[in-house]
Structure formats: C-alpha cells, structure tokens
C-alpha cells in the first residue's frame, strides 16, 4: 500500500460527496434540527486567506459531528457580493462589476470546495442575483410599510396606522395642521405617513466621501475617514434614505441578555446603542423669551449649573435665523476674557463657528483644550431662577442629546476645564461620601450627597435625581428622558453596484412603493457605471430606466405604483429612485434565504422557517469586525420581520462565536543605524512604521530615542537570538534587544499565507487540522509552517498505523465469530492471535477515553484538545503489534469531522467490501463511562500538601481502603514517623493529602 498522498485522495472524495449528495439537508421532522452558519464571505479579488478557513473549519467540524450525532444539519454557504471593492476594481480595470463578481465567486467557490467543507451547495445564495435581491427589495418594502408603535414597542403595518388615524383613535402629528385624516388629500396623507415609516428620507448632513463618490453610514466612518480605503469624509446636507433603527434601540438592547454571545461582543453593541437615563430640562432665555432644552444625566446637579453651552451648529445660534439668540452688542459688564477680542457677540460667534467648521473631527479629538464664544445672551436656571450666561463651544456636539448642555463645572471634568478657561463660577452641589479618596477635589464626578441644593440637600445622588425629576415634571420644566447614542441608519449609496430601491417619486413630490409584482427591480445594464463626479448617483445616467410612467393602485393615501407603457390610461410621469442600497442590505437576511433558496413566491416558506429557525441559528461563527455593523443591522431587520409575523423567532443568532485573527509567522527584528551599528530595541521609539527595503523585503523604521537618528529593523534568523529574562537578545551581543512578535498578515509585509499553497504542499486535511490545532478558536494566534508539518506528520502516522506496518503490511485485525483473528484475508497463527487479544485489551480503555474526550471537546468548541487526544491515541496504536478493527474504525470516525478525506480513504481501505459509501454517514460512536478510567490508578500521596510518593490502587477502591494503603506505604510511613495525623483527605481517583 502506497503512503499517504493527500493530492491523490482529496479530489476523489470531494467528488463522491458531491455526486451522492451526502451533505444535502432536507426537513426531517423526526430529527432535531441544527443550523450551523458561517458569515458568508465578500468574494474579493484576492481570493481566500488563511483566516477564512479558520471559522469555516470550526463550523464544518460541528456540522459533521452533529450529523453523526443524529441531528438534521443545515450548513450552507453563499456570497455577499454587492459592494464597493468590486466596483472600485471594476472602474479601475473598466470591466463590468457583474463580470468581476462572477469571476471572484467562481474562484472562492473552488477554493472552498478544495478544503472539503460539507456545505449543502444546492442552497448557495448570491446577494447580487436578481432572484435574491428581489427579496432584499421586498423586505425593504416591508420596512417601508411598517411604523413603530411606541406603546406596544412593536412595528405594525402602515394600514393599521391609517385605520387609527381614520377612526380618530390616534391623533395626527402637528404637521397635519389640526385637520382630521379624511380632510387631507392623498398627497398630504402620504406625507404624514412618511414621518412614521421605518424607511424614510430626509435632507440632512451626511458623511460624504468624495473619493468614493458616495455617502457612508456612521458605522463606516472611522476617525473622520472611510473604513474602505481611508479617504477623507465631510459632512454635507443631502437627501438620503434612512432606516429607523433608533425605534428599536431598547428592543435591540434587551434582546442581548438572552443571547449566547461573548460578553465583549454584547458590550460593543450596548456601547453602540448607548442608552443613558436622564432628563430634558427647559431653560428660559432671559429678556427675550423662548427656551433652550438640554439633556442631562445629572438632574441632581441642576443647582450647580452656572452657565450653558450650545453646539456651534445649534439652530438658536444660527446668525441667519429669525429666532437666533446671539446678541448684537456685548451686555454691560461682560468680562474681557469672554469677548474673544471681538466687537460684538455676533462677530465672536461667527468667528468661532467658522473655526469650528474648519476643524475636522480628528483635530477636535486630539485637542482637548476648551475654547468657545459668549453669545451675549443669558438663560434662567429653572430651579433657582439664576441668570447664567450662554456660550457656544465645540465640546458640545450637535449630534448628541439636544446639542445643548447645562454646565456644572463642579461635577464634570469638561465643564470644569471650560469654566477654568473662561473664569466662570464653580459651585459644589455634591459632597463625596466620607471614604471617597477624591472627597476634597473638584470636579467630583462620582456620586455622593447633595449639598447647596435646597430641598435636595442630604439625599444620595440617586435619590436626588429622582426628586429633581419629580419637581421638574410637576412644574412642567422638564421630563425624564432615556437617550440613545445610536443614530438612524443611513441606507442609501450613490453607487451602481447595489440593490436599486423599489420606489417611485411622483411629480407632486411624494414617494410610492413599487408593486410586489414588479420585483425584482433589476439594475439597468449600463456601459458607464462610474460615479458622476457630482452628487448624482450613477443610475442618473440611465435615463430610459429612470423616467417612467406609472399607475397607482390601492389606498390613494398609501398606494403602490405599477410601471406601465407610456400611453396607458391613467398613467402619470414619475421617476425611479436613483440611490442604491448599501452592502449590508443583502447580508441582513441571507441566513433566512438558505432555508428556501429557490422559492419564487416568498423569501422563505413559513413552514421551513419555523423548522430551521426555531430558537434561531444554533451556531454562528465569524469575525469580530462585524460586531456593530452586520450583527446589529440584521438583528434589526429580523425584529421588524418578527413584528410583521414573517419570522418566528425574536432573535436570529442564538449562539455566536468570533474566531480569533491569524497572524503571520513570528518574526524577530533586529535594529541598526544606517551605519550598520546595532541598536537595542529598548532604545528605540516604540512607534514603528514599515516600508519595503532596497532588497524587496519589508523593513521596520523607527528612530533612536536618545538621538532621534533613523533606525532600520530587519528580520533576523530565530537561531541567532536567545531569551534573557523577559526579553530576546542577540546571541552575538547580549546587550542588543531584539523585537519579537507576530504581525497581522498583509501584502505589504509579505507575510500572507495562501491556503492554496498549503493545500498543494500538505493537503486540505493538514490545513484544516492545523487551523484547529493552533489554539482556542477565539484567540489571536500566529501561523507556523513547522506546525503544519507537525499535523501532517500525525496524519502520515495514522496512515501507517492502519495500512502499513514497518514491514509494509496491513496492521488492522478483526475477530471472526468463530473467535479466530485475521489480518486482511490472512488468518493469524495461534501465537499471533494471542498478541491480538492482548492488544485489543490494551487499547479498549484508551479507545473509550478518546471517544469521550473528542465528543465533549467538540461540544465546547475545544478543537485543539480533541486533536491532542487523537494524537495520543494514535501514539498508543503505534505501540501495538496489531490494531483491532474497532479501535481503527472509532479513530477514523472521530477524525472524520476534522480531516475528512483521509478518514474516508482509510475507512474504505480497511473495511473493504463491507464499507458504506461514506464514513460521514455512520453514526457517532458511543462510549462507556466505566471504560474511560483505567483499572488501576497511580494516586499521589501528599503530606501537608507536599508530594511524598504514590500508590497504586484498583480504580473503584473505597476511601478507607485507599487511605489504609497510603498509610501502609513505606515511603509515607517513613515520612510520617510518629507524628499524629490531624486530617486525611482523599479525592476520589485523584490524590491523597495527609495533614499532620
């Protein structure tokens, strides 16, 4: 029998699985379902990297294990294929994005298939397929047709809102101008409804990225730059589509509690939603009337409010507005430090607004110094009627709360800093608890007891908050308020490669949903899909597609539009929406489509949804980078679908695990000046940057701390360094510290590992095995080529253990009913049979232990220790002369989820004509708890917690017997001498401790 040669067996088995549909999932009501899901990839032009197969292998192991354990498993894969990178590439190479996308998908699919994942490929989905995005559009229309009822905390159909308006059960909004519903015309009714829909359009400042030619969601902007490409992003007013995710903020927050997700991930979502409890407080404007409303989380400190601050963009300080509060002359007695060398408040405010507008988010963050301008206006503190000055400052953000604050410098660091700069009064209203080490200091931000606060005095901070809210509410000066940081989701993009919105704009300015029968609304085939260079989307150029004739159907206040040929009676001219949806749209619901991917009547058959989604997806694995984007968006969509009765579970993903990043191979970097003289890593600036050196290899550049001289770091051979204490140093010069770490894989570093290369050299099974053997799934870990060789050697040993002894013979033996033993077709001699019996007895208990260990470890996703257990068992097999068939089959059965190709091949070889078509169809082996422990155990004996010796006992010995044996042991007896034993402790099967 030839040795282990992965390339000759892997393709073969992939074909057999495919041809026999081994992994197809159909509803089998008798079996419990198990839905195991991967985050589907964005098929980039780069192809797979080793990070993809990490999570995919983990889910594949669980899928294969669960199938064997009697579950009906759904394990699908698909493509998240709309989006910017493909479009950017298409523009650069002047290829249609559809062509680029198709090519990338084909590449990804063949790469994934080469790894041998047990996907049900008949369920493959592709977000750019019109038959898929037809339902993305349809679900968007459900959002468009839903309003959020705050009383019921639930999304309801627009028709129910109309009914409530009609019956007068619900009051119309103020914008309806005191009219009743039937008095409004159709256009007015549509406008009222727009204010309630979960999908709505507004003209508002948005994140515009000139380089990408599109707007971006808040979540896609990091430090004022686009997440994709790192281009600058500006705030600009534009008409945009928004999704009212804020309505679901509380539901999204509450839903997290019951989910089996990591605490850190839940925390990220909680932070993003950003709930804070406080109050809205109304401050009257002095001498002028009107008021300013602020949001505060510390209503208890209202007596300490000594001034107010508005954001520079606040409407009340808009110098062009009618109702602005900025004074035209400095009030009498304005101190010079408030005047900022300006002739009037108007000048000061104008100058400050200009300065603030020119500062980027980044600059604002980096510079924490407090600046501002006095508006010349005063407000009245509603609780003590004090006159307090009103300032503007960019430390107050228009985007949070009301864009205005009451400043309490004694109990807020920022207010304290501003008050110090402007010489404003600071009034302590909270006294710290006695044990608080910060007691004497200001500002005091921690809770304590109210002081200088009239009727609040003596109350704890929590009590004072409550009482203040009551006082405010009684006098109509304010209300309790829960505020969320999360903003509505900006949902439109000015790009070509996305789902078109199924919406029609009428000439009267109202917007109407397209009729369901007209879905999918496909992207027009255009030659020129490039950004227009203006703020108009590329679809603007598809004039024919863009201008249409429609007829309206249904309730005139809430109609649907059908595009008809020109000249159709009743048709009116209209335009299509030209924006497209963002990349996240398709991934918001793909896990639902897998259940019924070819359905042309619904996004998913309700019966199938009920079966597969009961309790949600059972296991979802993917990268942590989607913590607040995809995972929040799809929870939102899911909850809307749930409210509308379209899905049966309130949360989509019951258990979620983030796989850890895989870093490049560990590198040792030694630093030197340009002269070549070594510099210790301890003596250089820890801020590195990288570049490509003259020899084409990547270099690290930094500077020498003492002199500032340029220092160049180059990779050095691990054999030239050694560890001294905490650090690595050069063997040649122990004074020179070397930087030792692993870097994120990147093209520029040249440390990217391509799975194709690993498969070509070691096979898919070794790739899978190593990815799992590296360490815990969720942990960040460095790649190691030597490690891949390690698992490859393990697989070779398994192969040789079963198929080739040292002399090249089959080593697997089986016993016939007549009691005789055979190795293949050869009967064993009497002497050999005796050996076989002994081997079978020797391996019995290790075999049960193996099954037990692997079973439990897969359940807790501890794949690395499962593999260790298999290695140990295989090492035990190597010590035998013969390998009993049962031991071999069980090893292969538990190996199959991890390394399926070799398991299949060996199974076929050793079981000959009895073999079933695939080992994957065999049930998972059972183990006997009693056979998992050895018959005799070595038990360590300690005296006062110190190891003295060990005794050998029968496994099921009673405590008393064991202790007697311990005391009888000569080693122990000698140590004990005649000291009295105070306490005897026996932990069953573990150890003995004698306390003297």
Q: Which stretch binds RNA (CB under 7 A): 178-186, 229-237, 569-577, 982-990?
A: 982-990
773 belongs to the binding site for RNA (CB under 7 A): yes
Rounded to a whole number of angstroms, the minimum distance from the CB of residue 590 to RNA is: 24
Residues 916-975 that bind RNA (CB under 7 A): 938, 940, 942, 944-945, 947, 950
Distances in whole angstroms, Cα of residue 737 to Cα of each of 668, 703, 876, 923: 10, 15, 43, 55
Instruction: List the structure tokens of 582.
Output: 């963002």
Residues touching RNA, count (CB under 7 A):
81
Helix, strand or coil, per DSSP, at residue 867: helix
Rounded to a whole number of angstroms, the minimum distance from the CB of residue 287 to RNA is: 25
985 belongs to the binding site for RNA (CB under 7 A): yes
Rounded to a whole number of angstroms, the minimum distance from the CB of residue 835 to RNA is: 18
875 belongs to the binding site for RNA (CB under 7 A): yes
Distances in whole angstroms, Cα of residue 339 to Cα of each of 238, 348, 486, 787, 806: 35, 7, 36, 69, 94
Q: Residue 808 — left, alpha, or beta (φ > 0 → left; ψ -120 to 50 → alpha)?
A: left
How far out from the chain centre does Cα 531 lie? 30
Burial class (CB in 10 A: 0-12, 13-18, 19+), 368: exposed
How far out from the chain centre does Cα 882 lie? 50
> Can you tell me which of 57, 118, 127, 993 binds RNA, judged by CB under 7 A?
993
| Pick from 258, 209, 216, 252: nearest CA to 234 | 209
Instruction: List the structure tokens of 505.
Output: 């704009």
End-to-end CA distance of the chain: 63
The Cα–Cα gap between 388 and 426 comes to: 12
Helix (H) or strand (E) holding 668: strand 667-673
Nearer to RNA, 192 or 486 (CB): 486
Nearer to RNA, 28 or 723 (CB): 723
DSSP 403: S
Nearer to RNA, 435 or 938 (CB): 938
Total Cβ atoms within 10 A of residue 289: 8
Nearer to RNA, 270 or 838 (CB): 270
The Cα–Cα gap between 766 and 790 comes to: 9
> Can you tell me which of 38, 87, 145, 394 binds RNA, judged by CB under 7 A?
394
Q: Which stretch binds RNA (CB under 7 A): 184-192, 256-264, 518-526, 527-535?
A: 256-264
Per-residue mark of binding to RNA, 616-635 (x: CB under 7 A)? --------x---x-------
Distances in whole angstroms, Cα of residue 663 to Cα of each of 59, 743, 747, 783: 21, 6, 13, 6
> Can you tell me which of 149, 789, 832, 909 binds RNA, judged by CB under 7 A?
789
DSSP 431: E
Nearer to RNA, 474 or 990 (CB): 990
Rounded to a whole number of angstroms, the minimum distance from the CB of residue 665 to RNA is: 9
> Can you tell me which of 794, 882, 907, 924 binds RNA, judged by CB under 7 A?
794
> Can you tell me which of 198, 311, 316, 327 binds RNA, judged by CB under 7 A?
311
Residues 275-294 that bind RNA (CB under 7 A): 276, 278
Nearer to RNA, 170 or 984 (CB): 984
Nearer to RNA, 403 or 478 (CB): 403
> Can you tell me which of 255, 274, 331, 524 binds RNA, judged by CB under 7 A?
274
> Can you tell me which of 252, 396, 681, 891 binds RNA, judged by CB under 7 A?
396
> Can you tell me which of 776, 815, 835, 953 binds RNA, judged by CB under 7 A?
776
Residues 345-374 that bind RNA (CB under 7 A): 364-365, 367-368, 370
Q: Which stretch binds RNA (CB under 7 A): 43-51, 273-281, 463-471, 613-621?
A: 273-281
Nearer to RNA, 705 or 797 (CB): 797
The Cα–Cα gap between 281 and 474 comes to: 12
Does residue 520 have a cis bond before it (omega within 30 degrees)? yes
Q: Which stretch binds RNA (CB under 7 A): 91-99, 467-475, 834-842, 866-874?
A: 866-874
Helix (H) or strand (E) holding 813: strand 812-815
Rounded to a whole number of angstroms, the minimum distance from the CB of residue 349 to RNA is: 17
The Cα–Cα gap between 549 and 528 comes to: 24
790 belongs to the binding site for RNA (CB under 7 A): yes
**Cβ neighbours of residue 115 under 8 Å, at least 6 residues apart?**
53, 56, 57, 755, 759, 764, 767, 768
Residues 2-61 that bind RNA (CB under 7 A): none
295 belongs to the binding site for RNA (CB under 7 A): yes
Nearer to RNA, 324 or 940 (CB): 940
Rounded to a whole number of angstroms, the minimum distance from the CB of residue 45 to RNA is: 24
Residues 876-895 that bind RNA (CB under 7 A): 878
Rounded to a whole number of angstroms, the minimum distance from the CB of residue 974 to RNA is: 11
Rounded to a whole number of angstroms, the minimum distance from the CB of residue 295 to RNA is: 5
Please say whether the beta carbons of 901 and 9 come within 8 A.
yes
Q: Which stretch binds RNA (CB under 7 A): 55-63, 420-428, 470-478, 981-989?
A: 981-989
Residues 408-437 that bind RNA (CB under 7 A): 412, 414
The Cα–Cα gap between 303 and 427 comes to: 8
Helix, strand or coil, per DSSP, at residue 480: strand
Nearer to RNA, 360 or 911 (CB): 360
Q: Residue 977 — left, alpha, or beta (φ > 0 → left; ψ -120 to 50 → alpha)?
A: left
| Pick from 760, 754, 758, 896: nearest CA to 11 | 760
Residues 742-771 that bind RNA (CB under 7 A): none
Residue whose entry in the numeric block shows the structure tokens 């894969």: 77
> Can you tell me which of 8, 195, 264, 337 binds RNA, judged by CB under 7 A?
264
The Cα–Cα gap between 254 and 39 comes to: 24
Rounded to a whole number of angstroms, the minimum distance from the CB of residue 780 to RNA is: 6
Instruction: List the structure tokens of 176.
Output: 């309806």
Does residue 443 have a cis bond before it (omega within 30 degrees)? yes
The Cα–Cα gap between 580 and 491 comes to: 8
Nearer to RNA, 89 or 688 (CB): 688
Per-residue mark of binding to RNA, 808-847 (x: CB under 7 A)? ----------------------------------------
The Cα–Cα gap between 545 and 902 comes to: 55
Rounded to a whole number of angstroms, the minimum distance from the CB of residue 776 to RNA is: 5
Rounded to a whole number of angstroms, the minimum distance from the CB of residue 346 to RNA is: 23
> Can you tell me which of 397, 432, 563, 953 binds RNA, judged by CB under 7 A?
397
Q: Which stretch binds RNA (CB under 7 A): 374-382, 389-397, 756-764, 837-845?
A: 389-397
What is the DSSP code string of 870-912?
HHHHHHHHHT-SSEEHHHHHHHHHHHTTTSHHHHHHHHHHHHG
Rounded to a whole number of angstroms, the minimum distance from the CB of residue 634 to RNA is: 18
779 belongs to the binding site for RNA (CB under 7 A): yes
> Can you tell me which of 89, 138, 400, 688 binds RNA, judged by CB under 7 A?
400
Nearer to RNA, 16 or 256 (CB): 256
Q: Which residues of 948-977 are buried (b: 16+ CB within 10 A; e: fewer)?
A: bbbbebeeebeeeebbebbbebeebeebbe
Residues 657-686 that bind RNA (CB under 7 A): 666
123 belongs to the binding site for RNA (CB under 7 A): no
Residues 687-726 that bind RNA (CB under 7 A): 719, 723
């Amino acid at each position: 029998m030839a040795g282990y040669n992965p390339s000759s067996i892997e393709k073969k088995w992939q074909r057999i699985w495919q041809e026999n549909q081994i992994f197809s999932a159909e509803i089998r009501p008798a079996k419990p379902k198990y839905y195991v899901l991967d985050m589907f990839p964005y098929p980039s032009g780069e192809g797979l990297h080793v990070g993809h197969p990490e999570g995919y292998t983990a889910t594949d192991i669980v899928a294969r294990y669960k199938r064997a354990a009697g579950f009906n498993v759904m394990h699908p894969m698909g493509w998240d294929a709309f989006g910017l990178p493909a479009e950017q590439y298409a523009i650069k190479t002047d290829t249609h994005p559809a062509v680029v996308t198709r090519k990338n998908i084909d590449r990804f699919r063949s790469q994934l298939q080469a790894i041998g994942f047990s996907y049900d490929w008949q369920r493959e989905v592709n977000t750019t397929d019109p038959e898929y995005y037809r339902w993305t559009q349809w679900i968007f229309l459900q959002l468009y047709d839903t309003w959020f009822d705050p009383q019921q905390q639930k999304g309801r159909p627009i028709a129910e809102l109309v009914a409530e308006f009609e019956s007068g059960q619900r009051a119309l909004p103020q914008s309806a101008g005191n009219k009743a519903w039937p008095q409004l015309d159709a256009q007015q009714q549509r406008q009222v409804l727009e204010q309630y829909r979960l999908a709505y359009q507004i003209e508002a400042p948005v994140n515009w990225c000139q380089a990408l030619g599109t707007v971006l969601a808040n979540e896609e902007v990091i430090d004022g730059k686009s997440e994709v490409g790192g281009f600058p992003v500006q705030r600009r007013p534009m008409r945009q589509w928004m999704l009212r995710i804020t309505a679901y903020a509380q539901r999204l927050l509450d839903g997290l509690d019951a989910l089996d997700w990591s605490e850190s991930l839940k925390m990220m979502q909680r932070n993003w939603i950003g709930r804070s409890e406080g109050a809205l407080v109304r401050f009257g404007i002095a001498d002028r009337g009107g008021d300013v409303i602020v949001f505060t989380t510390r209503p208890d400190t209202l007596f300490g409010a000594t001034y107010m601050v508005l954001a520079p963009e606040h409407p009340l300080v808009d110098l062009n507005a009618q109702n602005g509060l900025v004074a035209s002359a400095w009030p009498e007695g304005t101190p010079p430090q408030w005047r900022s060398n300006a002739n009037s408040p108007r000048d000061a405010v104008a100058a400050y607004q200009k300065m603030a507008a020119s500062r980027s988010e980044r600059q604002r963050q980096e510079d924490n110094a407090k600046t501002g301008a006095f508006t010349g206006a005063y407000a009245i503190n509603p609780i003590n009627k004090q006159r307090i000055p009103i300032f503007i400052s960019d430390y107050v953000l228009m985007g949070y709360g009301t864009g205005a604050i009451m400043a309490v410098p004694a109990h807020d660091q920022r207010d304290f800093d501003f008050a110090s700069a402007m010489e404003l009064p600071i009034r302590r209203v909270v006294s710290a608890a006695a044990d608080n080490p910060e007691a004497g200091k200001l500002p005091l931000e921690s809770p304590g007891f109210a002081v200088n606060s009239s009727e609040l005095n003596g109350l704890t901070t929590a009590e004072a908050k409550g009482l203040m809210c009551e006082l405010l509410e009684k006098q109509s000066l304010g209300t309790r308020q829960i505020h969320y940081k999360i903003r509505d989701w900006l949902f439109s993009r000015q790009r070509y490669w996305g789902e078109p919105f199924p919406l029609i704009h009428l000439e009267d300015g109202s917007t109407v949903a397209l009729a369901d029968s007209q879905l999918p609304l496909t992207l027009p085939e255009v030659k020129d899909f490039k950004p227009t260079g203006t703020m108009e989307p590329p679809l603007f150029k598809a004039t024919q597609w863009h201008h249409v004739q429609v007829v309206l159907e249904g309730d005139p206040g809430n109609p649907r539009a059908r595009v008809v040929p020109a000249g159709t009676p009743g048709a009116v001219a209209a335009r299509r929406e030209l924006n497209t949806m963002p990349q996240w749209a398709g991934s918001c619901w793909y896990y639902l489509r897998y259940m019924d991917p070819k359905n042309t009547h619904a996004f998913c058959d309700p019966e199938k949804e009920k079966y597969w989604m009961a309790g949600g997806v059972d296991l979802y694995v993917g990268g942590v980078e989607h913590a607040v984007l995809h995972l929040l968006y799809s929870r939102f969509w899911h909850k809307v679908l749930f409210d509308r009765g379209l899905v049966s579970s309130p949360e989509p993903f019951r258990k979620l695990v983030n796989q850890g990043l895989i870093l490049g191979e560990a590198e040792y970097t030694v630093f030197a000046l340009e002269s070549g003289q070594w510099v210790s890593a301890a003596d250089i600036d820890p801020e590195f940057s990288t570049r490509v050196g003259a020899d084409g290899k990547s270099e690290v550049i930094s500077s020498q701390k003492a002199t500032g001289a340029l220092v160049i770091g180059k990779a050095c051979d691990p054999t030239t360094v050694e560890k001294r204490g905490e650090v690595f140093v050069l063997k040649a010069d122990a004074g020179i510290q070397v930087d030792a770490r692993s870097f994120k894989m990147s093209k520029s570093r040249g440390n990217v590992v391509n799975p194709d290369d690993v498969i070509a050299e070691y096979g898919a099974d070794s790739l899978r095995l190593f990815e799992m053997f590296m360490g815990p799934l969720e942990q960040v870990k460095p790649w190691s080529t030597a490690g891949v060789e390690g698992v490859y050697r393990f697989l070779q040993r398994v192969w040789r253990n079963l198929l080739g002894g040292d002399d090249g013979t089959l080593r697997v033996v089986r016993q016939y009913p007549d009691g005789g033993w055979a190795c293949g077709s050869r009967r064993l001699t009497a002497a050999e049979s005796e050996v076989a019996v002994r081997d079978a007895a020797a391996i019995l208990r290790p075999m049960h232990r193996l099954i037990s260990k692997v079973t439990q470890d897969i359940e807790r996703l501890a794949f690395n220790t499962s593999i260790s257990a298999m290695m140990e068992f295989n090492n035990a097999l190597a010590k035998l002369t013969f390998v009993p068939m049962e031991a071999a089959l069980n090893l292969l059965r538990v190996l199959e989820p991890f390394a399926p190709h070799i398991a299949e091949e060996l199974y076929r070889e050793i079981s000959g004509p009895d073999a079933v078509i695939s080992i994957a169809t065999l049930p998972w082996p059972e183990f006997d708890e009693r056979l998992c422990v050895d018959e005799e155990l070595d038990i360590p004996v300690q005296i006062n917690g110190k190891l003295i010796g060990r005794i050998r006992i029968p496994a099921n010995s009673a405590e008393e017997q064991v202790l007697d044996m311990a005391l009888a042991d000569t080693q122990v007896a000698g140590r004990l001498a005649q000291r009295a034993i105070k306490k005897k402790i026996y932990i069953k099967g573990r150890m003995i401790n004698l306390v003297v």
